[in-house]
Amino acid sequence: MDVDRGVPVMAGAGLPRTRLSRLVVTDFRSYVRTELALDGRPVAFVGENGAGKTNLLEAISLLSPGRGLRGAAYAEVARDSGAGGWAVAATLETETGPVRIGTGIEPVTEAQRSVGIRSRAVRIDGAAASSSGALAQLLRIVWLTPAMDRLFLEGASERRRFFDRLVMGFDPSHGTRVNAYERALRERNRLLADEVIDASWLGGVEDQMAEHGVAVAAARIETLARLRGAIDAASDTHFPRAAIALEGELEAALGNTPAVDVEEAFRKRLAQMRGRDAAAGRTLDGPHRMDLIVRHVAKDREARLCSTGEQKALLIGIVLANARLLATRGEPPLLLLDEIAAHLDEARRRALFDEILGLNLQAFMTGTDPVLFASLGARAQTFRIARGAVLQTA
């Protein structure tokens, strides 16, 4: 492979269009209080195991809707010997100027901690936002973590979550719609478990599921088409080409049937299947069962049957195609790449760095050894992390 043939770094490309210029984490996991000034170059967090590198990526990931890259409960990320509250604040540089964003929870009582607090506060330029969904309107964050090395090997739910995060990049309301669908789904399951036979009550909940479910599936197939286009258009990438497909009844039906008809058919199916679903203890049809199917085109093999490194490379290829697409729309995502460098051979590592620099987006990477980032040299901003503190920057 010709390692010098990566995407050229555009001279004078300037700073990433969307980027964090300041990050402050308070009482967050291993951090009492840490403030980072970020200059727009890709960021490398370097330090030994347990130093606090992933904690910083997790803090950044909470600047988007949901529970962040570890999927942790909000009370859990509070520093063990702190008061129980935590905060992540940042300055986001945008086309129209800086925006101050912040999120966190107030100190909680033991009782609250044990039941798990469900929501966190979000502030945008000092004003309270109604939910973390507001963050999706401002910035897009995509991550790859070592836990995702098993993405193609485990159940569909993680793949679905991964894909839905990509959808959210194009359609900030997607997360809200997924939540609305899942709320209705839980309600239906509860009614069936309680043997509620009030057909109008169940019918109302199923109406909600059908309406939100079709909207969710429609957003997914729209993103699928965009991503396929971006993957096909990527001629100058060192990452393997992925053939991606969605396996889901609504997603398939929307390909050749008007949305209103798909919605009606789904509503009828839910009504018909109440007995079966009550017996199963859960709803067996719907977009909450959707799966993302990925094939390695060159190897003509399903991703789950590829080598660990090939699976990782496929994932990176998909994430980069997505990033390229968003960058073209003037909305580059932030990339959080946990321990990515360690998994790649030298040629692929350089290729990844070149693509990140070429795309002019802000990437945050972690590694235990500074050598992993040596080829980036001064093109990256490096922070040394040790025992929950940022020791030195280069």
Using the structure block, give the residue that is written with the tokens 């070592």: 146
- Name which of 80 and 195 has its Cβ closer to ligand ATP: 80
Choose between 331 and 339: whose C-beta lies nearer to Mg ion.
339
Q: Which is nearer to Mg ion, 52 or 317 (CB)?
A: 52
Number of residues engaging ligand ATP in binding (CB under 6 A):
14
Calpha distance 311→308 (Å, rounded): 5
Name the minimum Å distance from CB 44 to ligand ATP.
12
- Spatial strand order of the sheet with 121-124 comes to 31-37, 19-28, 86-94, 97-105, 121-124, 127-128
Quick one: 8 or 50, whose CB is closer to ligand ATP?
50
Q: How far is the CB of 322 from Mg ion (least distance, A)?
A: 23
Q: Residue from 18, 26, 30, 237 that binds ligand ATP (CB under 6 A)?
A: 30
Q: Please report whether residue 50 would count as binding ligand ATP according to CB under 6 A.
A: yes
Stretch of 42-50, 231-239, 244-252, 264-272 contacting ligand ATP, by CB under 6 A? 42-50
Q: Which residues bind Mg ion (CB under 5 A)?
A: 54
Q: Is 130 in the site for ligand ATP (CB under 6 A)?
A: no
By beta-carbon proximity to ligand ATP, the closer residue of 107 and 258 is 107
CB neighbours (10 Å) of residue 310?
A: 17
Told to check if 362 binds ligand ATP by CB under 6 A, we report no
Nearest in space to 80 (alpha carbons), one of 24, 26, 25, 29: 29
192 contact, one of Mg ion, ligand ATP, none, CB 5-8 Å limit per kind = none
Q: In whole angstroms, how close is the CB of 62 to ligand ATP at the nearest point?
A: 13
| 25-to-17, 20, 35, 117, 238 alpha-carbon distances in Å | 23, 13, 7, 20, 35
Binding status of residue 49 toward ligand ATP by CB under 6 A: yes
**The token pair that represents 303 in the structure block:** 């991703």
Cβ atoms within 10 A of the Cβ of 265, count?
16
For residue 369, what is the DSSP state? -
- Out of ligand ATP, Mg ion, none, what residue 30 binds, judged by CB under 5 to 8 A for its kind, is ligand ATP
Residue number, 54 or 132, with CB nearest to Mg ion: 54
Site stretch for ligand ATP (CB under 6 A), options 52-60, 193-201, 340-348, 356-364: 52-60
The option from Mg ion, ligand ATP, none interacting with 29 (CB < 5 to 8 A, set by class) reads: ligand ATP
Angstrom distance (rounded) from CA 259 to CA 218: 8
Rule CB under 6 A: say whether 51 interacts with ligand ATP.
yes
What's at 93, amino acid-wise? E
Pick from 324, 376, 366, 360: nearest CA to 40? 360
Tokens for 176, please give them.
Answer: 């809200």
Tokens of 146: 């070592």
Beta-bridged to residue 23, according to DSSP, are 36, 90
Measured CA to CA, the distance from residue 365 to residue 115 in angstroms comes to 34
Q: By CB under 6 A, which span of 9-17, 74-82, 150-158, 297-305 interacts with ligand ATP?
A: 74-82
The footprint of ligand ATP (CB under 6 A) covers: 29-30, 47, 49-55, 78-80, 368
